[in-house]
Structure 1
Amino acid sequence: MTNLERWVDALVDEYDLDPEVVDIGAVLDLARDAAHGVERPAAPLTTFIAGYVAGMAAGEGADHPIEDVLARATELALAWTAEPELPGTETPGA
């Protein structure tokens, strides 16, 4: 078992989650696609937003909220077309 897997297990235990719900590979793939398709700071923000939306969808009784949200967020990240930054703007925390 890797350190990452142990960390995810600790979080799953702490928050009383079903361990089957956390697909480490899918979340890391989404983070990668957001980082490469948009920009690096998009990775944690995208995964947070996707998780939040999946949680809301699960609460509303959606059948496959996590898979659906991860798939759609990945599609958006891979299709993203960057535009030139406006002068004097920068990503907060970058």
Structure 2
Amino acid sequence: MLDEWIAAAKTELGIDLDVDTGVLLDLARDAAHGVARPAAPLTTFLVGYAAAHAGGGPDAVRAAAAKAAALAQCWARDADGEADRAG
């Protein structure tokens, strides 16, 4: 069903892009768990915007997603460190 949804959404939005759903879902997971649940959709939106700003295409999406995922993972490590120091 997810592939059908992506195809329908791309058609509705008038875009032709190979979407690596695994990369985006991993990013959403990292943002949700490393920052906060609402960060997942907001972060994926920002990645899409950054990718478009960088010229678009699958490589731009992957590059922006990698940067955002690394940031979310850093936030999670920092939060864990603060919790350890507070505990």
SS of equivalent residue, structure 1 residue 71: helix
Residue among 67, 74, 78 paired with 2:73? 78
Query: Please, which runs of 5 or more residues in structure 1 have no aligned partner?
Result: 85-94
Equivalent position of 1:7 in the other structure:
5
Moved over 4 A (4+): none
Q: Could you list the runs of 5+ residues in structure 2 that have no partner in the other structure?
A: none
Which residue number in structure 2 is paired with residue 41 of structure 1?
38
- Structure in which a larger fraction of residues adopt helix: 2
- Shift of residue 63, structure 1, vs aligned partner: 8.8
Alignment length, in residue pairs? 79
Q: Distance in 2 between matches of 1:64 and 1:16?
A: 19
Q: Indicate the SS of the match to 1:64.
A: helix
Given that 1:30 and 1:43 are in contact with CA atoms closer than 8 Å, whether structure 2 keeps it comes out as yes
The percent identity for this pair of structures is 51
Tell me: CA distance 1:26–1:63, structure 2 relative to 1, closer, same or farther (3 Å). closer
- Report the TM-score, using the length of structure 2 for normalisation: 0.79
8 Å CA contact 2:17, 2:58 repeated in 1: no
Among 54, 57, 63, which residue is 1:57 paired with? 54
Q: Deviations over 1:23-69 (max 9, x none)?
A: 1111110000000011111101110111111111116xx89311110
Give the 3 Å change call, closer, same or farther, for CA 63–41 of structure 1 in structure 2: closer
- Alignment root-mean-square deviation, CA: 2.2
